[in-house]
Amino acid sequence: MKRLLTILVAVLAVSAGLATAQDDEASIRKLSNEFFAAWNAHDAMAMAATFTEDADVINPFGRVAKGRAAIVKLFTDEHAGPFKGTTYTAKVSLRMLAPTVALGDWESAVNGMHDPTGKALPPFEHHVAVAYVKQDGHWLTAAVRPYAFLPPPPQ
């Protein structure tokens, strides 16, 4: 009987851990989708609200923003310039690194960009490495690094 009780407790503990991991992944996906929706609404404050207070971003052009206020400024500038009127789509892949840390990879595209003359540009396809952290029971973005793959060097 004691052995059966021990097995039952172990099974329940494993089940609880799996449920928590699934809940965490769902929460991170929800957070990511909130960012995408805020991008598509061109709402810099809502985009930055998905970040920790001390988060940092390096945008695709090398501009660095450290802290939520600087991130708001970065997104405001981008959406008044090259990303004005664009839409953002992404496929999110996640890897849980610890109970409060996750790594995301967004396979992303920005559509609707125009050059300074108004000529439409092709979609800006890229990846984004995202570090997520769980603070006070809530998932937030701690760091973002967009990147585009380069063609391989000549053989």
Q: Which fold has domain 20-147?
A: Nuclear Transport Factor 2; Chain: A, (3.10.450)
Task: Please provide the average confidence, as pLDDT, over all residues in the chain.
Answer: 90
The model's pTM is: 0.85
pLDDT tens digit sequence for 6-47: 554 444 444 445 447 789 999 999 999 999 999 999 999 999
**Structure-token pair, residue 109:** 């595209």
How is 97-145 classified by DSSP, letter by letter?
EETTEEEEEEEEEEE--B-TTS-B---EEEEEEEEEEEETTEEEEEEEE
Bridge partners for 64 per DSSP: 58
CA distances from 154 to 100, 146, 147, 148, 151 (A): 42, 25, 21, 18, 9
pLDDT tens digit sequence for 79-108: 998 899 999 999 999 999 999 999 999 999
Domain segments of the chain: what residues? 20-147
